[in-house]
Structures are given as structure tokens and as C-alpha cells.
Chains A and B, each alone.
Chain A
Amino acid sequence: MKLTPHVHTVFAAFFRQMRCHRLYTAINVMGLALGLAACLTFGLIARYEFTFDQWLHGARGIYRLDAVNVQDGRASEIADAPFRVYDALKAAFPEITHATRIRPDNISIITADDVRSSNALYVDPDFFETLPYPLVRGDAASALSAPNSIVLSEERARTYFHTINVIGQKLTVDHDGRKAELIVTGVLSHVPGNVTLQPDMLIPIDSAMLASPAFLQWGIEGGYVFCRLHAPSDAKRLQGAMVRFSLDHVPPQVRDAGELRDWRLRPLPSLHFLDGTLGISSASRNSVIMLGLIGLLALLSAIINTINLSTARGLLRAREVAMRKTLGATRGDLIIQFMGEAILLAACAAIPALALIEIAIPTINALGGWDVVIPYDLLIPALLVLVILVGMVAGTYPAFWLSAYQPARVLAASRMATMGRLGAVVRLGLVVIQFGFAIGLSVSSVVILRQSVFVRDMDRGFDRNGLLFIPFIDNIGTPTAQLALMDAFRNVPGVTTVSSFYTMPGDFGFSAADYFSPLNAPDQRPRLEWQDVGRDYFRLFGLHLIAGRLFDDAHGEDDQQKGKGIHSVVIDASSARALGYTTPQAALGQTIRKHTDRAPWHVIGVVNDVRLNSARSAPLPSIYFYSSMPYRFSSAGVRFENRPERDVEANLRTIWQSRAPDLAFSALLASDLLSHDYRGDERRGELLAIGAGVAIFIALMGMYALASFTVARRMLEVGIRKTLGATTARVLGLLLGQFLKPVLGAGLIGCTLAWVVMRNWLSGFDARIPLSPLYFAAVFAAALLVAALTVLFQTLNVARAEPARALRAE
């Protein structure tokens, strides 16, 4: 192959084009840079999501043991396991070389001037053998062997000691209900963001904990159990033996209650998305795949621009090509020429693409809560491969198309060459794909953002503003101490109501449900959400009474903790319906009982429905029980008004600290808790909107450039038509129609696809917006409008031209 002259021609032609056709080159380079950047940015995110935990040495041999419970005939997997299984498991399966229990908890760190709360993992000494997190200080083999040791993350070490040389330092903590002095035995190296377990502190499980019920009873989930197997092939055998293991070890009464019927061994790298499906995290494989697809499609869209533009340019050059062929250039020469030009174009785009990625990654990280680090050693080769690939793809079509052109036909044509019918169809198809994708994405992001706003603003049946929660006030001491604490809270300026309760909004805190039946209709047995509440609970949440009365200390029987007789309950409207009462009034005075035992209750009141849980699941009908004294796991709720939340919180903190100087104070805003219900979707919608913006931008750029070629090509035709009596308006309509027709088609395709996908997505919500045609119409209209505006200037210019000038144009 005589390569040198080719390369020379390619470069020469490329630089001539760059000079002579600045707009064409700029649009091509900009579009490709955006496309490459979008593709690689979303690609990096997809890689980040798909490689969770894989950096950990031997990650494929590490498994989490999930428990499988059966409820109403349906098996449900939970990520936790009772710690009782730990010893039995190790004894039963010698294939397990190492295993550790992991109990996440919140502990208080006491320093000279402050008490701070931190996450901690209680683990077995085998932790590092099972999950080999690297240490920057200390020795993994011995770090967790002494009972009073603690391993800190680099970040925590710096927070408390301002250095990572902390081996042997002492740290005072209040944990597991007692104060202790721990000795730092190791410091964890910084770990990448894509880990399922991000330990801040590791503390060995000590003998006091081992004696607690969570470690002894089969019925109580203690936390996670991880194990390392001899070989990954053992996992299959182990999994097969798990039902037998359950039969052999789990007590019958636990099994009979539907619990621990089976177990699942889940490989560590699969946990990220698994937890998403188990409802523990918001990870979703589909949305990651969607992001990856958006990246690919953005690149495709940019490639389409290059194809369309170089074909259009090629048409203007058709005579040149034809002349070259007449002068003896072979088809191969021309193919090399066009591909070479396209590859050079893509190479020019690579540098701005890199800059765009550098800007995009931190932004996207902040938006999506990721911690993606740009891996240059991977990115640069990937970029190079993409450049070649993109160049080849973008160059192939025009190269083959134009080189196949017969010189005689081109030269014989009265004027500029056209692409013929097939070429026009292909070009139209490409534009349809571009806009279809952009419109589909836009509609989807609009729908997702609307839905997240809907969830944010929806009426949950209670007033979320001015509502603060102080979780787990039982840590502070006896019920009397808790009551005293709440009394003190009541005196804070701005505070109007304080009450204790157990279930916080947004799936945070504790919840329990049970089956209840009316005494006289045992066949009705709805599952009702069990809500233990303190005094003033209804006032705290701002519920309103529909029928009957609320709990009242004047009625002794209202208090579950007082007297032996039949106690009172308040139910909500949907519970009343579920129990079979036709009206709320009909429920009053009725006696109901728990499905499993005899103890009856009288219904004294009916309140409005409240949605504490996610908008994704059906609202839970609730039943309220009043106890005047708080007990274990109680939290306090504080309603305030006319005061900034910061002031109220500071006052509450002061009160807390005067009563429990060793316990970290924490307060949660109801609106923050509820934000978990829509933040994820909001972010997803915003990411989609970014993708849509990029897609639209690329498509419009392509359309703009294409318009300038097409319009130039149709100048003569415009002159002819006007000579024949066409008005400016008609010509404008004709030209605009040519550009908008593909957008119209694209709108139909994009909207249809988005409709199918969004209907499916919305069906995952119990409370959702209707999939209004308005969203589609609005996006569609907007797309047409921007497309029209994009080409309007050039089109108008041609349409308004004096016919004589237009006829002269060639």
C-alpha cells in the first residue's frame, strides 16, 4: 500500500476543510466532543455502579448470608440474619474458611469538648480475613483481637486526632449502653466510594454483647453475616444445603412463624443491586443501564451529525469527487480520504471531550451522590479507541456512498448532486433517531421530575413543617427521665407540642403490623400498622378527628399501661373500612382483637389516614395505642412554630446535653426524612434532563449545520418556485416543513417509547401522577419550536431572497 501520499492528501484536505468550512468543522467537533464526553461520563458512572466492592481482594469468594422468611405464602429475603446462626454455620460447613458478624450501630464519641455521634460496625476478629479492607496503620491479623480495641477510618482518625498515627491512642465512647475506653489498633485506608460497607469504625464484639438476646435468639436479627468460602464453587453446594440446615438448626416455633425457612448466599459484588431490590438501598440496575444507554445514544447522535454533515459536504463536493475519479482516483483512495477525515475530526473532538469530562464528573458526582474518580489510565485508551471507532463509523457511510457515485451522472446533472431517494431516506432516518431520542429523554425527565415534585408536595395526612424528631430518647434512661426530658423540651421557646412515639416517617425507625378482627366479624382480618403513641401524638402530627374522641388521660382505660380492663384504641379511616365498618361512626364503640390472641380493645375514635411510608407502596391502615409512659425504642417528636429550626434544635441540644452529657444528640426534620422518598427520583430526573439537554443540543447543532447545506442546495429551487408564483410564506413553509417533518416523526416515536417506559416506571408508585398527554404535547411542541427556531434564520434568508438573486446563486 502506498500509504504516505494518502495520509498526506487526507491531512491536506482536512486542514483545507477546517479553514474553509469553519462552521461545519466547529459543529462537528463540538458535537463529537459532547457525544464522546457524555458517553464516557455516563460510562464511568455505569462502571462505578457495576464494580461495587470488586476492588476488594478476592471479592468473588465473599458472601453475605441473607435470611428467607415466608409470609402469606410469599418468600421474602432480608439482608440481615440472626447472629445465632454464626456458630452453627461455621460448624456445619467446613468450606467456610472465615466468617464475621457485622452489627451496625450508632455510638457516641466523647472528646474533651464535644460529644459526637458516629456509625460503628461491631465485628468478629475474623473481619479482616473475611473482608480484607486494607489498613494504613496497624496489623490486620491482630487489630481486632483484643476486646477493647477500635479501628478507625482515615477520615475519623483525622477528625479526632488530626493525624493518622494514632495506634495506641485512647478514645472514649458511649456504646451499647455503657461508657468505655477503647484503644486504637488500626487505621483503614481510604476506600473507593463504591462499597456496600463503608466502615467508619470497627469494634470487636465483646463478651457483654455476646450475652445479649440479639446474639442468642434465632428470632432476632442481629445484623449481617459475611463469610469467605474456600472456593467459589462451594457456594452452589452450600446454597443447596441451606434448607436442610434450617431444618436442622432453626427451632420449630421460629420456622412455624414463617421465619428462617431458607437462606441465601449472596456474592459480595452482587449485593449493591440486590440491596436495591430488597429495598435497603436505592440502587437500581435499570437506571444505571439507562444512564449507560443515554451516553451511548448521545454519542450515536453526534456520529449521526458527522455522517449527515460529511455526506452533505460530500454532495457539495460531488463534482470534485467526480472530477477526481475521472482523473483516475480509485474508490479505495476516496474511502481512505473520507474515513481519514472523519477520524481526524473525532481526534480533534477528543481534547475538548476530555475537558468536558473533567467538568462533568464532579458535577454528576454531586448530583448523583457518587464518588467517581476519573481513571486516566483507562480513560485515555478508551477515548482513543472511541475516536478510531467513531471515525470509522462516521466515515464509512459517506465514503462508500460518495465513492460509488458515477462521475458521468454527477457531471451531467444540471446542478449540484443530490443523494437520490435512498440517500434522503437514510438521512431522514438518522435525524429521526436523533430527535426521537432527544424527545423521549426530555419527556421522561419531565415525567420523573413531575412525579418527584408530586411526592414531595403530596398530602400525607399530617403537617410535616415545623416537626422535629429526636430518635431513641430511651437511651437517656428510665421512662420517668424520658418524660422529664420531654417536659423540658416543652419549655423551649417556639415549641408547641411534644410527644413520644415509635414509627418515624419515611421508613425510618420501627414499624410493626398485625392482623386485627372485629369481635363480631372474625372473617375480617386486615393487617394494620401498629402505632404506639404517647400523649399528644395526634396534636404533634396534626391529625384530625373524624369520629368519636381522641385519647384522654381522664379516661383511665385509654392508657394501655393502666388497669386490667379493656383498653381503648383509635383507628384511621382506612382501618375502619378494612375492618368492615361502613362509616367511621359505625366503628365507634366496637370491640376488636388481635388475630392471634384474645385481648380485646374498644374503638373510641377514628382519625384521618396518614402516609408515613413511601409513595411507592400502598398506604398502611393504622391502629393507635396510647401509653402514657415511653418504653424501649421510643423517640420524641417536637412541633414548633415562629422560630427558626436552628434555634429550636440548639435549645433542644442544650437540654439533652445537660441530661446526658455522654450521649450524642441528634435531631431529624420530618421534611428531611420525607425527602428520602423523592430525592433519588429527583436526582434521576435531573440526570436524565442533563442527558436530554445534551441530546437536544447535539441534534439541534446537527440540524443547524444540515440546514445551511440544504438551504444552499435548494436556493435555485426556491428561485424557480418563486418565479412560478410561490409566495415567500409558501416557500418558507416548504423549507421549514422539510426540517420539521423528521422532528414530527421523531416526536411520535420518542413519545411512544417514553410513554411505555414511563407508564411502567409510574406503576412502581402507589401515589402517582396521571401520565398526562400534556407532558408529551408540551415537549413535542417545544421540540418543534426549537427546531424551527434553529433553522428559521437560514430558511427565512433563502425564502425572502429576490428570485433573480436565488437563480443566480449557482
Chain B
Amino acid sequence: MLIELSHIQRLYRSDEVETTALQDIDLQIETGEFVAIMGPSGCGKSTLLNILGTIDRPTSGSYRFGTQELTAMNEAELAKFRREHLGYVFQSFNLIDELTIEENIELALIYREMPKSERRARVAHAVDHVGIAHRARHYPSQLSGGQQQRAAIARAIVGQPSLILADEPTGNLDTDNGAQVMDILQRLNDEGATIIMVTHSPSHADLARRRIDMLDGQVVVSVRNAI
């Protein structure tokens, strides 16, 4: 078992109102799985992904990753966890405007204290992998949306993480670009990476091995796709 969430709850408190983004989530994910999360807007998909990515903390509950209990970790340990195990693809790309595509991707390695030459080689490999090598020296604003999303994926995979989290990676893309991105994710999964992806597209969800449906902060069904 790679991931084991039990009784995860996430509340947002603002002045008077209390929003329950997640309530009592129990979820297990095996190593090498490709999971698609679906559900209506506001049901808590991004919140769940954030918690899985440790960039947000659950209000209560336990999150075990392998043998580690992540909710007990401090800031620095979580940062270390993220840089060693995690790749994150955002819906809105989230590339840094002042850095070139290459530099953006390299950022995922910089915090690993890796020699410059190795970083170079890995970045070159990653941009090649997603098919934007010819755009590596451009700035994000000079790329199309599909290219930016592929750059964001390259950044997520360059560190060869064991877990890739993707929040609507195809949401902002047209059909062709979306298909390309799904293709990349599938290839990564074939190579052994565990992938958890939020999507609104049932056809993309069908490409995953398992589909989780959410509603109002709860998991309602978890079905295994026939492949």
C-alpha cells in the first residue's frame, strides 16, 4: 500500500462561516495505480489533491505514505518529502514568468542539491519526453496553453517522483492537446509512476485504472476500470 488516508477531514473557517471541503475521507492507493478523481465543481477534488500533495494540511485524520505518517511531520520534513516523492501538475500551469521553460523545470531539481550537469541532462530528457525541446529557452508567456501544460508536466516528472498529482491537467486544453497530455501520463504510469488525476472529462477518466467519484467532500464510489 502506497497511500492510506483515514478519516481525513478539511474544514475552512473564515470569520463566521465554516466550510467542510472534505469530510471523513478513507482512501487507499496502491503503488503503480492510475486513479482519476471526478465530481462536480466544489466537491473537494482540489482540496483532496492538495492534502495528498502535502501542500495543505487536513484538519483531522491520518495520512500514511508507505510507512510514514505525514500528518505528524514538520514543515522541513514535508518539504523534503515533496521534493523526493512528488510531482505536481496544476490546472493553471503555474509556471514562473521570469524564468525560461528550462529554468522552470530545473527548479524541481534545484532543491535536491544535484550537480548542475546532471540537472541539465535530466531537464533535456524531460523536455524531450513531453515534446517541447525546441521551446526550452522561451519564457512561459511565449508558449501556447498546451505547450505550457506540457512544460508543467515536464517539471512534475523531471525528478522521477513516485507519485504524480495532476489537477485537471487537460482542463484548459483542446482535444488534441488534451489527448497528448493523457498520452504522456499513461506512458509515465506504464513506467511505474503512481498517478492521481482530477478531471472533468469522462473519456480521460476512462483511461485510468480506477475512478473515484466525489460529492460534497466525500468519496461516493470507487470503481476499477476494466482494461
**A binding-site residues for B, Cβ under 8 Å:** 409, 412-415, 418, 716-717, 719-730, 802-805, 807
Contact = CB atoms under 8 A, between A and B. Distances in A.
Contact of B56 (A413, A414, A725, A802): A802
Interface in B75-113: 75-76, 79-80, 82-84, 86, 88, 90, 92-98, 107-108, 111-112
A418 B50 contact: no
A723 B161 CA distance: 13
Given A724-B155, A803-B56, 16 more contacts: A409-B141, A414-B140, A414-B148, A720-B107, A722-B82, A723-B55, A724-B83, A724-B108, A725-B79, A725-B80, A726-B79, A729-B76, A802-B55, A803-B55, A804-B50, A804-B56
Contacts of A418: 97-98
A725 B83 contact: yes
A729 B80 CA distance: 12
B146 interface: no
Contacts of B56: 802-805
19 contacts: A409-B141, A412-B141, A414-B97, A418-B97, A716-B94, A719-B55, A720-B94, A720-B96, A722-B79, A723-B82, A725-B79, A725-B86, A726-B83, A727-B76, A727-B80, A730-B111, A804-B55, A807-B55, A807-B90
Contacts of B44: none
Nearest to B55: A803
Interface in B55-85: 55-57, 75-76, 79-80, 82-84
Contacts of B108: 724-725
A414 B112 CA distance: 27
Q: A-side binding surface: helix, strand, loop or mixed?
A: helix
A138 to B, nearest CB: 78
Contact of B107 (A412, A721, A727): A721
Contacts of A719: 55, 94
Contacts of A805: 56
Of the candidates A719, A730, A802, A803, the one having the most CB atoms from chain B within 10 angstroms of its own CB is: A803
B53 interface: yes
Contacts of A729: 76
B154 to A, nearest CB: 13
Contacts of B90: 807
A805 B57 CA distance: 11
Contacts of B50: 804
A729 B93 CA distance: 25
Given A720-B94, A720-B96, A414 B55 contact: no
Chain B's interface size range is 20 to 34
Q: Which 9 pairs from chain A and chain B are nearest by CB? A: A725-B83, A803-B55, A804-B56, A727-B79, A725-B82, A804-B50, A725-B111, A804-B55, A724-B108
B168 to A, nearest CB: 14
A709 to B, nearest CB: 15
A802 B78 CA distance: 11
A727 B141 contact: no
Contacts of A807: 55, 90, 94
A725 B79 CA distance: 5
A414 B93 contact: yes
A478 to B, nearest CB: 91
Given A724-B108, A802-B56, A415 B97 contact: yes
A414 B141 contact: yes
Contacts of B92: 414
A804 B55 CA distance: 5
Nearest to B140: A414
Nearest to A800: B75
Contacts of B95: 414, 720
A723 B97 contact: no
Contacts of A722: 55, 79, 82
A73 B92 CA distance: 85
Given A409-B141, A726-B79, A717 B55 contact: no
Given A414-B93, A418-B97, A723-B88, A802 B141 contact: no
Given A413-B141, A414-B92, A802 B76 contact: no
A792 B53 CA distance: 28
Contacts of A409: 141
B149 to A, nearest CB: 11
Nearest to A721: B107
A724 B98 contact: no
Nearest to A717: B96
A719 B95 CA distance: 11
A724 B75 contact: no
Interface string B195-219: 0000000000000000000000000
A213 to B, nearest CB: 84
Nearest to A802: B56
Contacts of B75: 727-728
A724 B104 CA distance: 10
Interface string B128-154: 000000000000110000001000000
A724 B107 contact: yes
A567 B78 CA distance: 94
A475 to B, nearest CB: 82
A409 B80 CA distance: 37
Nearest to A415: B97
Of the candidates A413, A716, A725, A804, the one having the most CB atoms from chain B within 10 angstroms of its own CB is: A725
Contacts of A804: 50, 55-56
Interface string B168-203: 000000000000000000000000000000000000
A667 B92 CA distance: 85
Nearest to B109: A724
Given A414-B141, A418-B97, A716-B94, A728 B55 contact: no
Contacts of A414: 92-95, 97, 140-141, 148
A721 to B, nearest CB: 7
A230 B129 CA distance: 95
Nearest to A803: B55
A722 B97 CA distance: 16
A804 B44 CA distance: 13
Nearest to A724: B108
Contacts of B112: 725
B57 A802 contact: yes
A244 to B, nearest CB: 77
A757 B141 CA distance: 48
B20 to A, nearest CB: 16
Contacts of B82: 722-725
Nearest to B108: A724
B72 to A, nearest CB: 17
A663 B86 CA distance: 97
Of the candidates A716, A722, A724, A727, the one having the most CB atoms from chain B within 10 angstroms of its own CB is: A724
A412 to B, nearest CB: 6
Contacts of A413: 97, 141
A544 B146 CA distance: 92
B140 A725 contact: no
A364 B141 CA distance: 55
A47 to B, nearest CB: 47
Nearest to B82: A725
A725 B84 contact: yes
Nearest to B167: A807
B142 to A, nearest CB: 10
Nearest to A726: B111
Contacts of B141: 409, 412-414
A805 B14 CA distance: 13
Nearest to B95: A414
Nearest to B155: A724
A485 B148 CA distance: 100
B42 to A, nearest CB: 14
B114 to A, nearest CB: 12
A415 B75 CA distance: 27
A803 B111 CA distance: 16
A352 B56 CA distance: 47
Nearest to B158: A724
A413 B82 CA distance: 28
A134 to B, nearest CB: 68
